[in-house]
Amino acid sequence: MKTSKLEIFMKKGNSRAGRTLESHIAEKMSRPAFRKAWKAADEEFEILDSLIMARENVGLTQAELAKKLGTKQSALSRLERGGYKTATVDTLVRAANALGFRLEISLKPKRDKAA
């Protein structure tokens, strides 16, 4: 199951009683700074989605992968919840290797030059 940007946003405690997440985000999108930050997070969420999907497809729990990486489950949980910006390339390479994958980083033209 793919973790969406909305689900990760919710896990960080960004909800208010009586409103749906979609309406909350739609309201925030009217702010240019929020919209820019939301779009800038796309790359991070793509990496997080890939990591989570790979772990789940291999059939490992966070605790099992964390053990293979020599870290704690809580650290892997933070990474999967949006801690990519603090992760090193080495950490991502080790996670990919532990899952039987190869980390691939590429540069691509931006979809929207105004972004």
pLDDT by residue, tens only, the chain of 115 residues: 555 666 666 555 554 555 677 888 888 888 888 888 877 777 777 888 889 999 999 999 999 999 999 999 999 998 888 766 677 889 889 999 999 999 988 888 877 655 4
Domain definitions of the chain by residue range: 5-98
Looking at residue 115, its pLDDT comes to: 47
**Displacement of CA 84 from its chain's centroid (Å):** 7
Which residues have a Cβ under 8 Å from the Cβ of 115 and sit 6 or more positions away?
A: 36, 39, 40
Please, are residues 48 and 84 in contact by the beta-carbon 8 Å criterion? yes
- Domain 5-98 CATH assignment equals 1.10.3470: no
